[in-house]
Structure 1
Amino acid sequence: MILAESPRRQRVTKLVNWGHWFALANIIIAIVIASIFVFSSPLPGTGVGTLYLLANWFGHISFMTFFGFVIFILPLCYLVNNPSVIKASASVIAAVGLALLAFDALLFNRTGFHFSFHAADLLRDEAQSQMAIEGWQQWAFLLLLFIVWLGFQLVLANAIWKRVDRFTKHKIGVPVATFFVSCFVTSHAIHVWADAGLYQPIIKQDNMFPLSYPATAKTTMSRYGLLDLAAYEERKQLQFNPDIHSITYPAEPVYCSIETSKNVTVIVQTSSDTSGLMKGALENEALFDKENLNRVGNYYSTASSLRGLMTTTLFGVPEIYEEALVNKRPVMLALPLGSGMPVSIHSEDTLPLAQLSGYQQPLSNNHQGLHIAFLPHNKVNNYLDSALERKHDVIVATGFGEPNGKGALFSTLPLKGNLASSEDLAPTILNALGCTAPSTFYSTGQNLLDPTRPWLVSTSGERIVVFHDNKRTDVLSNGSYEISEIASGKRSKDALNVELLSQAIKHLSRFSKQN
Structure 2
Amino acid sequence: MVTSGNNYKDKVSQLISWGHWFSFFNIIAAMLLGTRYIEHSEWPETMLGQLYLGLSWVGHFGFLVFGFYILILFPASFLIPSQRLMRLFAVLFGTVGLTALLLDTHAYETLDLHLSPLVWDLLLSGEKTELNARWQYLFIAVPVIFLMQLVLAEWIWRKLRKLTRKHVGVPIAMVFGFCFLSSHLIYIWADANLYRPVTAQRSNFPLSYPMTAKTFMEKHGWLDRQEYSRREAAQGIEESEHIRYPMAKLKFNDLGSRQNVLLIMVDSLRSDMVNPETMPYLDAFARQNLNFSNHYSADNNNDGGVFGLFYGLPGGYINSIRSERTSPVLLDTLQKRNYQFGLFSGDDFEESIYPDAIFSNQLMPDNATEHQNDEQAIAAWKTWLKQQKSNRPWFSYIELDSVESFEEGGDYIPQFTPSLGSSQLNPAEVDTNLLLKNSYRNAAYHIDELLMDIFAQLVEQNALDNTIVIVTANHGSEFNETGSNTWGAGSNYSQYQLKVPMIIHWPGMVPGHITRATSHLDLVPTLMESLLSTTTPSNQYSSGVNLFDQGASRRWVIAGDGRNIVVLQKNITTVVDKYGNYRVYNQDYQLQSEGKPKLSTLMQVMHELKRFYQPES
TM-score (norm 2): 0.42
- TM-score (norm: length of structure 1): 0.49
